[in-house]
Structure 1
Amino acid sequence: MDKRTENILQDIRETTEFLGGVRLPDTAFKAIAGTNVTTDMLFFQKHLDKGYVADDLAFSGSIRYDKDDRIWLNPYFDGEYNRQVLGTYEVRNFNGGTLSVKGKTDNLIESVQTALEQVKAARVIDRNEIIINPNVLTKQIIDISIPPEMRENLGQYSFGYQDSTVYYRDNKCIRVGTKTEDISYYVDEEGNFKAWDTKHSQKQIDRFNSLEVTDSTALDVYVTEETAKRGQFKGYFKKTVFYEAPLSDKEVARIKGMVDIRNAYQEVIAIQRYYDYDKEKFNQLLGKLNHAYDSFVKRYGYLNSAVNRNLFDSDDKYSLLASLEDESLDPNGKTIIYTKSLAFEKALVRPEKEVTEVSSALDALNSSLADGRGVDLDYMMSIYHTDSKATLIEELGDAIIPDPERYLQNGEVVYVARQDFLSGDVMTKLEIVDLLIKQENSDFPWQHYQDLLEEVRPQRVTLADIDYRIGSRWIPLAVYGKFAQETFMGKAFDLTDQEVADSP
């Protein structure tokens, strides 16, 4: 929200209504990310008509922070006593200037709830008033100059590369990656050019002229409110143009390196989604991340350095990337230094918790389930000391139940947790248990298990109870094909007919 380039905000404004937001303190996600990162919670509602009222303040463009000219922020989050900012502003990163929020209270949940009361409620739209624009059914034009892999896999607001070419995807298209540059010059009251700022080289001026940038094609244009008071440009206004420029070979290499680190870190995060993730595979991915990071920093410096931040800031995952480095001051307290965060050393999304001993069979079961092992009797015996597996099973009682399907198939005794037994396809389990009872199998109390299943037997659902409409995803495509063929072509088709299967 604080970025000076407003093209993304403008795109959002054209398609959504801003309901409100909350700026969280930089410690909100420290337990998860392992570092301090200021985060915004933003709420939007997609508008389906043109009768909404836009929040002009949020979309009016960034303003300078009154306590530090290097900092820009969205006016919605401006003000020392802004109720939507859960803390006080503090400037970090002395070289580039980054705004951080220091929390005021330990009760973050209560503060968030209070701030959320200021967020507007979503508007309820009468579906009968929605008009479908036939122009949405136009043909899709595919840019064949973009590699298929980029078109299919590159996420929105993300950088990617193939060979020596960097690509970037915004909400409209995929294009060859660029960088943001700025150039300043002086103009008179009518906006006529008078002179270039002396800080620019002739090479930079020639490059800007060759791009033929205009105010309408520039990312942003800023003109001082007052004229220069002294010097050779006295009486003229200073105009600064922010524009997109081609990347140099070294800048391409920097972005490619940060893409590799981003992808490696996302793999490390993704594998931790599961309780029983492969620890060996995780260590391999962690090694890959360390190698990618170390190689990059050796050649191009820290991820949080100004040059790397400016190049990669438009990537949606840059904040995640920046969180890989912990910021501190050198022993003299003057220079900012960066070090690797804990994300390079161990699992943070799902930290390893080694349980060595528990005091009851139920605790042993809970530990086994939490570790993604299922009902692992050998593991449970290793952390809960008891005479035998039979004693352990007896102590657990109905907390574990033999899988009737596995037992019926080959006589294999595999225990599952009670909640797993009493969920899923209950009707099939009832049929299997009923069959075992009829076979007069006495190895387990099947009648008792049948009674447990009967308590959770779902009621039969009739067609009248099913809420469906055209477009429901759970309806097979072949059914839509049969409906279309019979309704629009007047022909009866079987659901297995090839013409039905091929129907859109």
Structure 2
Amino acid sequence: MSNADFQLSLFGDTALDGNANLFWGELEGEECDAPGALLPAVEPLVIPQTDFRLAGLRGLAQGWKARARDNIEAIKLVATLEREARNATSEEQVQLSRFTGFGAGELANALFPRANEAYRAGWEKLGADLESCTTEAERSALARSTQYAHYTPETVVHAMWDFMMARGFAGGSVLEPGCGTGLFVASRPEKLEGKIAFTGIEMDPLTARIAAKLYPKQWIRAEDFIRAKLSTGYDLAIGNPPFSNRTVSQAEPRDLKGLSLHDWFLARSINALRPNGIAAFVISRHTLDKTDARARTLIHEEAEFLGAVRLPASTMRADAGTDVVVDIVFFRKREIGEMPGDETWLSCVDIEGTNMGDGALRINAWMEAHPEQVLGFHGWASTAFGMDYTCVARDGQDLADALPEALGRIAPALRFPPVADSRIVRPAKETREEGGDLREGSYFMEGGILHQIVGGQGRVVAIRKGEQKEGIFQKHARIIEAMIPVRDATRAVLRAQFENKPFAGLQASLKRAWLNFTRQFGPINHTKTTTRVDAVTGAESETQRRPNLQTFLDDPDVWPVSSIERYDEETDTAEPGPLFADRVIQAPSEPEIHSVHDALAVCLHEAGRVELPIVAELMGQSEEAVTAELGSSIFLEPSRSSNDRPVWVTSDEYLSGAVRTKLAEAREAAARATSQPLKLSSLILYPTANIMVADETNLMQAKRQSFIARIY
């Protein structure tokens, strides 16, 4: 039987003939085993919902291979839990909590090799295990997330919670963007049990699924934080934003466009706080130290900088497998009309006595004024891009003792405001900006009561009773309640087609929901036409009303729902439209990335310029690695670059135009010993021909391709 035959028999009847028995028995065209002897009923395993709580340390395995095994076992376990449609036991939650992602360099390089390359020697079995328990799409998402999947040490997390509790935090709505598996909510103090409503947003689907099993009572949103719709009533925003300098160019609010992804996370989280709400984040030291103060200025317009602690570069090594200088920062969102306070943290200063001939070390002015908040020594370190700043741990210093002491010096008089009466909680169904079931304005049912998403929160819809004048009419409420399953089924079919997943069963569900609605209220597009005759002129005028659609008009999906049926206005009848039987949208084709040059092409298409963080993310490699592999395909533009923000361009762009000037600028920058590789040795200028190419052997090829840059 062809797909067409199957779909015709499946969706052949309409609301007009009333024959819906098809949908309550077996579907024609489906294979079904002959009925056999009945087996004794098996009681399903019922495990109550319990949020995981970490009292001490997770007990992470020693060695990167052991960490990889724990990650893979967690992935297998979450698949089992989903297949069995049950909650995790407390023992299983402990196992899930040991998922640390693949951000550590050893894991990323060993388990996510480049295209057509083998796994690193000794890692073949682990690589095969990872392939066996994940789809290609899941592995691609994990590879992309290796750029960001660096988890915060428990010592730091517990110290941050102690800071909150010492300043009177008693619960409320808590936001963590880029939550990973939710280490911050796992480490919540026992006194806060049942007193916080946690919203965790995580882009990697696998990691979000694990977090959802760890905290079934909390709102884990599997989506991109950049596209997430947020309420502005959070009491606390806390976390560790992704360490990426990728520029955010397409997001709301508009005034944050152009910030690095890392800074954008921080600024957007502060924006979501209520007045006097607190933000507590572990961030890269570059947010405070970089010369470009735009991010700091934007944050300062909305929030008061309370203080910070700078940690040694070695702090993240054991958990994240990386040496990076991080700051723990705290902000308080100002009340409306409150004037900004101390502006010291907006500027940067040189550290005296650190000029080794290439300029002095430069740090945030607040850090320079509060040396006691730096848990180490300022110094130079050799990096892939040359010499750079680092913070070296003091000999014999125990971070478990030094960190709480330093945190205690920050805003000791600060007190959290009283807990708000309402909290930001998970609605009945997942809410996502793209592809989810609910959005701003969406109706949904919870506990048999009609709700609507308003301001990012689910609110009960008032329904008139008796002589009441507030709320919507009861009949309108019944129409909305019957329309909700139609909307959900419509979105489910469209989403499955968009994601190239099976959708025939979803079309059957759509047909059932549509039939249920039309039997009660007629066609979705039911139209009433009223003709009026002007008493003076005798002219006729028509007025049309669509009572079913008008009742549902506040829902953002009203028009997609209205389009699913073929409506005949003359007979006021309808029949199923193409969505009930056919594919109406094609899944977008994912770009195939087999090399770093493919990744560069995708980056140029999406961003319109060379963005090494995007290329690195697509390849699942470091920026240093993709820079080296791209070779002379890209060049650093010294005149537009700074130490904080290098600007790369394609070779086509760089080797054209005023190339004499560019060569002079490159030589001048090289003489200043810039920290970025300039590839100066590969540039050759031909004065007689007025051209500059990447190397001499490509001279003739450049001429043939009109690649020559003429100088005027």
Q: Same fold (TM over 0.5)?
A: no
- Give the TM-score, by structure 1 length: 0.30
- Give the TM-score, by structure 2 length: 0.22
